[in-house]
Chain A
Amino acid sequence: MTPALPFVLIAPLVAALLLVLVPNWRVASWLNVGACAVTLAAALTLFTAKPAATAMLVLDAFNVTLIALTAFVGLTTSVFSASYIGHEVASGKLNPLRLRFYHAMYQAFLFTMLLALSANNLGVLWVAVEGATLTTVLMVSLYRTAASIEAAWKYFILCGVGIALALFGTILIYLAAQPVMGPGLAAMTWTRLLADSAKIEPNILNLAFVFLLIGYGTKVGLAPLHAWLPDAHAEGPTPISAVLSGLLLNVALYAVLRFKMLLAANGATMAPGPLMMVMGLSSLFLAGLMLYRRRDIKRFFAYSSIEHMGIIAFAFGIGGPLANFAGLLHMAMHSLTKSAIFYAVGHAVQAKGTQKIDGIRGLTVSHPALGWGLLAGVLAIAGLPPFGVFMSEFLLITNTFARQPLLALLLVLGILLAFGALVLRVQQICFGAPTGESHPIHGTLAPLYAHLALVLLAGLWLPGPLVAWFQTVAAMLG
């Protein structure tokens, strides 16, 4: 094992402990950025390293991609957060003590996500996802308003139950593997399980997968287990909404996909795909319909996240090299685009002093740089060319038409449904006469435009090595 992988985990953990001790929030916010930069640098070296798996940690083409993505979005969000929280302190919503807590929790959250992604042990994976739940629950309730406490409580209860069901699934997997591999850690280790998957009793795997899909699926925000997601996104600080949407949902989906690989390697189990396709399509339709009735801007984009997680779950559910490729690309594009949108929304909410869409009209007139950025982001997430999201959706739709025309029809219908709502709302937000208050924007729009540039670049030209890399991962996923 090269030291880089443990280092990726140690850096945020040390930073979390260190940030508890820093009383000055300005210093803390830049230390936060620095720690994220170190983590990203370490994560990027993982692409060239080929370490062997240990009992606790594993590294393959699949999780390296997500680790790098997590570290990158973690860094840009910390930059956004540094410019965002100044305004929150000035407006008296947060005090220095809570910010100290916030920064420590931000790093702890990154640590748990990176641990979940690199865990080679089912138990460690579970603990890491549980840890990510607990840290984000605390951050969602950061403002201590009635609505934020209710949102955090709902999040905690729903995801707590979800995570409990996932643990039951994990125990079932162990039960199935233990006769083959003997008692002890081996029967909970990914690489060992995957290698000996064919010998495992398929019936128990089936039952376990249902529990794991429901359990981790709650955290992915798949319908009908999505109820916590809009509340948690709307009531917490906006940087947290950005990492929740952009990163945490991916991590939970990653866990589901790992178990799907296990079932695929067994061969004698039920096909896990159809379950994921049904959940994916129902999320897509539910979110598409709900989008029309949202009046809160953060809630609106939270539903859009449900929609996209639905599309991704559908892509991996239908499977095959092309659909998996589209799913992976969509995962990355959605992370980048949605977090960019939340950066823009964060600034817009501060500039206008409200989260209600009615109060945020005419943004391109009152704040041109922000307004056009938000417009570009929303058009990208709606799936318009030339952005990267268009690429992945186009790939998925053509591939589905070739294999399951009827399902493709449903998929297109769902995407169009959401598209209509997005275009309708973004028109109101970005154009027309400005409404409400209008404060100047503090802080930088650099993270927003950096993400948009990447998404645009991916839509125009994907570098050859990246395509090859994604193809390897798509083949792994079966």
Chain B
Amino acid sequence: MIDIGYDAAHLLGALVLLTSFALLYQRRLFSLLNVFTVQALALSGAAAWQGYAHDEPHLYITAILTLALKAIAIPVALHRIIQRLHIERTVEPALGIGLTMVAGVSLVTLSILLVLPVTENATALTREDLALSLSVVLLGLLMMISRRNAVSQVVGFMSIENGLILAAVGVAGMPLVVEMSIAFSVMVAFIIFGIFLFQIRERFETLDMRKIESFRGESD
């Protein structure tokens, strides 16, 4: 039997995970942002679909917030920051792409092995959403480790947040207050990120964190 509600939710969740992998191997900052936009769109779709399938209208608000903030406002702002600061458009990952992919696949395996056995009593959809979202969170972490460019780290951070929202959306009846406040703190976090990007650029003439980390206060 085909259960459209389940399949569509599954598909959208998987799309979020897939874009997480795509984020891992982007070399150009603009294409990184484009992939991130796709991820946010998929997430927004996942939230809206859950709202429709489970008849939880407050999830539409989550979907709209995600759409407005993550799919439109943040990518546009990052585009403008990259242009204003004349940041080098291509970045070399600190780890090789092959190695990163292998690490990514093992992280997904890990999160499935971790989540599925302990959530036996939850619904199938919740369990799989949780496994997918934990994978997205871990891939975001991997991205923050393997990329030493400040803009890529911001995108990695935001994709971790995407994973968290996917988890929150997948669990039935998560209070709206929580999602609202997550959205709010993401916004604040982003503003701070923006301020920092300008300051780092001004002080260090680069956004490559490898060069910045020599300032330890104890170097002399």
Residues of A within 8 A of B (CB): 121, 123-124, 126-127, 130-131, 134, 137-138, 141, 144-147, 149-154, 156-157, 160-161, 164-165, 167-168, 171-172, 174-175, 178-179, 182-185, 187-188, 201, 203-204, 206-207, 231, 234-235, 294-296, 299, 355
Contact = CB atoms under 8 A, between A and B. Distances in A.
Most chain B beta-carbon contacts within 10 A, residue among A130, A138, A175, A296: A175
Contact of A160 (B133, B173, B189): B189
Interface stretch (B69-77, B100-108, B196-204): B196-204
A171 B174 contact: yes
A207 B114 CA distance: 8
A153 B203 contact: no
B85 interface: no
B99 interface: no
Interface residues of B, number: 51
A193 to B, nearest CB: 14
Interface string B78-97: 00000000000000000000
The 6 closest A-B pairs by CB, nearest first: A183-B173, A123-B178, A203-B118, A127-B181, A146-B203, A150-B215
B115 A175 contact: no
Contacts of A175: 119, 122, 126, 130, 171
B160 A164 contact: yes
Interface stretch (B5-13, B22-30, B161-169): B161-169
A130 B203 CA distance: 27
Given A150-B212, A164-B164, A296-B218, A183 B172 contact: yes
B137 A174 contact: no
Given A123-B175, A123-B177, A156-B196, A149 B144 contact: no
B198 to A, nearest CB: 10
Given A153-B212, A204-B119, 5 more contacts: A149-B199, A152-B196, A174-B174, A175-B171, A203-B118
Given A141-B199, A188-B178, A134 B189 contact: yes
Contacts of B203: 144-146, 149
Interface in B176-210: 177-178, 181-182, 184-185, 188-189, 192-193, 196, 199-200, 203-204, 209
Contacts of A151: 217
A161 B140 CA distance: 9
Contact of B173 (A134, A184, A235): A184
Contacts of A123: 175, 177-178, 181
A126 B161 CA distance: 14
Contact of A127 (B118, B121, B185, B212): B185
Contact of B192 (A137, A174, A204, A355): A137
A133 B114 CA distance: 29
Contacts of B98: none
Contacts of A206: 118
Contact of B185 (A121, A131, A147, A203): A131
A212 B168 CA distance: 16
A201 B121 CA distance: 8
A183 B173 CA distance: 5
A153 B172 contact: no
Nearest to B219: A147
Given A147-B215, A153-B200, A156-B196, A171 B185 contact: no
B162 to A, nearest CB: 10
Contact of A147 (B153, B172, B217): B217
Contacts of A188: 175, 178
A235 B196 contact: no
B3 interface: no
A165 B137 contact: yes
A3 B57 CA distance: 35
A146 B204 contact: yes
A167 B121 contact: no
Contacts of A121: 177
22 contacts: A124-B177, A130-B185, A137-B192, A141-B196, A141-B199, A146-B203, A150-B213, A153-B150, A156-B189, A161-B160, A168-B133, A168-B164, A171-B164, A172-B130, A174-B171, A175-B122, A184-B173, A203-B119, A203-B120, A231-B216, A294-B218, A295-B218
Contacts of B188: 134
A121 B171 CA distance: 17
B134 A168 contact: yes
Contacts of A126: 178
Given A161-B144, A295-B218, A153 B168 contact: no
B168 A171 contact: yes
Contact of A178 (B120, B160, B172, B216): B172
A231 B171 CA distance: 38
Contacts of B60: none
B87 to A, nearest CB: 16
B137 A168 contact: yes
Given A149-B196, A178-B172, A299 B185 contact: no
Contacts of B122: 175, 179
Contact of A153 (B126, B174, B175, B196): B196
A316 B134 CA distance: 29
A144 B199 contact: yes
